[in-house]
Amino acid sequence: MKKLNYLIAFSLLVVLSILIHNCTGTGETANIEEAAKKVYVKPGSYDELYAFMSGGFNGQLSVYGLPSGRLLKNISVFSQNPETGYGYSEETKNMLMTSYGFIPWDDAHHPVLSKTNGEQDGRWIFINGNNTPRVARIDLRNFETEEIIEIPNSAGNHGSPFLTENTEYVVASTRFSIPVPNKDVSINSYKENFKGTISFISVDKNGDMNLAFQILVPGLDYDLAHAGVGPSHGWAFFTTYNSEQANSLLEINASQNDKDFIAAVNWKKAEEYLKAGKGKIVQTEFYNNEFNESTHSAISKKMNSVVVLNPKECPGLIYYIPTPKSPHGVDVDPSGEYIVAGGKLATVIPVHSFSKMMKAIEGKKFDGEFDGIPILKYEEVIAGEVQNPGLGPLHTEFDGNGYAYTSAFLSSEIVKWKLGTWEVVDRVPTYYSIGHLMIPGGDSRKPYGKYAIALNKITKDRYLPTGPELAQSAQLYDISGNKMKLLLDFPTIGEPHYAQAIPAEILMKNSNKIYQIEKNKNPYAVKSEKETRVERKGNEVHIYLSATRSHFKPDNIEGIKVGDKVYWHVTNLEQDWDIPHGFTVKGLNNSELLVMPGQTKTIVWTPLKSGIYPFYCTDFCSALHQEMQGYVRVSEANSNTKVTFN
Ligand code: K7E
Ligand code: CUA
């Protein structure tokens, strides 16, 4: 019966969605000339903003210029990248080490820029690895991944990595509940054995991440998160779904309850409990991998324990706020007062009030509890409900002028509404089926409310067809006036979920141009051509190669034998901006290397057959790039060819 009700409700949603589509029509597209002027960045000029878009299933983070939509870089994060050698080179392999071994791929959803006083500060950007729970920190001087920390006792690191007001912590919740510690039990024992965790990763002034503590929470699905700012600083909010605690066919079984919860966590209180010794040290295993800028190498550290707080022993640490229905996003407005949920199956956008929440806690306005966690009364916490918000509201961003913008997946639109009065003031269709939306700084205390980007899930007819797989589609809207206006479609790579953007001038001035060769502490670096050499150690051969326009030194190498493990240590001696050299050798059973000025990178090669093998530079570096080549001679294992080089 319940199943039938659900099906009827869903069909209604679909019909409604079609109706809404029809009455919104084609929406407001700016006059073509006007739109073109707004997005046209003339040749030789810079974009106004950097945008960072998660790669989703490609595991990387891509960088675009806005408003042009030009792709500037794809930063390697959780996935091996043969274009640069990331995850293939000896120096970078450790970045992808986990307690499950070497994991060369992940699913990356949420990039979040570091903040000071709740405003973007341009130091780092963080992004989550969803599948093998990890958080990465990317340094924005080099636009390279500098650190990856694994999160133990988590499964599906989706509500992650959201930052507290001064980047004190990265907060991260587990999507899937699992036994904690993980163990071999019947899946049917979900209610009794499965738990969630909420993790707090501290970030020090150098950016170093440490797993500070975890909170063991009831077995639900913890979906997304945001931390409080201003008055709500000290709190973090996490949506949940599946308060039914179903372990199968969630689309029906986890859609029964009218309300699920937002978990409100008082992390300042958690710090007090930790000081008071309430934390329990739990044995576990996870990796913390850090890239050292002077050795140009990643070091993996294996960690063995984590401090865990149990809410049952820590009253006041966590409250549940009832929230309709299977909420997805949870977003905190720039004032820090409003907590906006996106209820995928809800007919309204519920907005909670932080000050009302505090009063309700004080007055103990509870509606029972869930597994020991007090449930606050909905009507005591709710500030307002946005009526007619579009179907399937997911995520909300803010423009800093008192308006909120919510993406609605099912009705495929952005809905603009006013904070405080909750009235919808504008809506604009998206093509098609928007997931996240992003306003530059729209999750911070200081949004730059000029543009909004729709990150759409479905592309269909927007671009030239490219077979069954189409590029993902982003759309840029002008939100500076009363009416939102569509300016531009542009394709993106991977599947961007969330994105961030920041005024270009904040990052540009810090951007590194080279790595200083005299500061290169890689043990296999050469500082000049004089230091280049070839050394045999048993079956290992180390080739210390230098690269400079337009030759390698040495470029004739003999004495390698079949069965040797050959380490090519390539140092780029250049000290000019934008002069990388590449390296590959015929039959290299590995990726190429791309070596930045002043950097050393190593790739391993095991030749299988004797003969002559050419090697060459893969990155067009000068007029004589094509001359940047060499030969290596491989002899039979039992030959007595001596190691020689020029
Ligand atoms: Cu809505 Cu992973 Cu943030 Cu996709 S998530 S849309
Ligand atoms: Cu060096 Cu091409």
Domain boundary among 512, 535, 556: 512
Task: Determine, yes or no, domain membership for 282.
Answer: no
Domain match, 485 and 531 both: no
**Closest atom of ligand 1 relative to the 409 alpha carbon:** 6
Ligand 1 mean position, distance from CA 330 (Å): 11
Task: Determine, yes or no, domain membership for 313.
Answer: no
Q: Which ligand approaches the C-alpha of residue 547 most closely?
A: 2
Residue pair 327/239 in contact (Cβ under 8 Å)? The answer is yes
Number of folded domains that form the chain: 2
Rounded Cα–Cα distance for residues 60 and 109 (Å): 9
In this structure, which residue's CA is closest to atom 1 in ligand 2?
A: 581
Ligand 2 mean position, distance from CA 81 (Å): 20
Residue pair 225/171 in contact (Cβ under 8 Å)? The answer is yes
Structural domain harbouring 578: 517-645
Domain match, 568 and 623 both: yes
Enclosing H/E stretch for 112: strand 112-116
Domain match, 598 and 531 both: yes
Chain-centre distance of CA 460, in angstroms?
Answer: 26
Domain match, 507 and 540 both: no
pLDDT at 344: 87
Ligand 1 mean position, distance from CA 435 (Å): 6
Task: Determine, yes or no, domain membership for 144.
Answer: no
Task: Determine, yes or no, domain membership for 135.
Answer: no
Domain match, 491 and 578 both: no
CB of 617 within 6 A of ligand 2: the answer is: yes
CB of 280 within 6 A of ligand 2: the answer is: no
Q: Which two structure tokens, joined as six digits, stand for 333?
A: 């407005």
Ligand 1 mean position, distance from CA 311 (Å): 28
Residue 552: closest CA among 531, 576, 529, 536: 529
Ligand 2 mean position, distance from CA 483 (Å): 51
Rounded Cα–Cα distance for residues 600 and 545 (Å): 9
CB of 570 within 6 A of ligand 2: the answer is: no
pLDDT at 327: 96
Residue pair 385/373 in contact (Cβ under 8 Å)? The answer is no
Domain match, 482 and 529 both: no
Rounded Cα–Cα distance for residues 2 and 245 (Å): 16
In this structure, which residue's CA is closest to atom 5 in ligand 1?
A: 497
Domain match, 448 and 500 both: yes
pLDDT at 29: 61
State the burial class of residue 373 (Cβ atoms within 10 Å of its Cβ: 0-12, 13-18, 19+).
Answer: middle
Domain match, 485 and 533 both: no
Domain match, 554 and 499 both: no
Domain match, 399 and 463 both: yes
Domain boundary among 459, 493, 512: 512
Q: Which residues of the chain have pLDDT under 70?
A: 1-30
Residue pair 154/199 in contact (Cβ under 8 Å)? The answer is yes
Task: Determine, yes or no, domain membership for 285.
Answer: no
Domain match, 494 and 593 both: no
CB of 581 within 6 A of ligand 2: the answer is: yes
In this structure, which residue's CA is closest to atom 6 in ligand 1?
A: 435
Domain match, 393 and 429 both: yes
Domain boundary among 488, 512, 536: 512
Residue 528: CATH number of its domain = 2.60.40.420
Ligand 2 mean position, distance from CA 32 (Å): 43
Task: Determine, yes or no, domain membership for 156.
Answer: no
Measured in residues, the chain has a length of 646
Task: Determine, yes or no, domain membership for 466.
Answer: yes
pLDDT, tens digit, for every residue of 100-112?
Answer: 999 999 999 999 9
Task: Determine, yes or no, domain membership for 363.
Answer: no
Q: Any idea what DSSP says for residue 7?
A: H
State the burial class of residue 75 (Cβ atoms within 10 Å of its Cβ: 0-12, 13-18, 19+).
Answer: buried
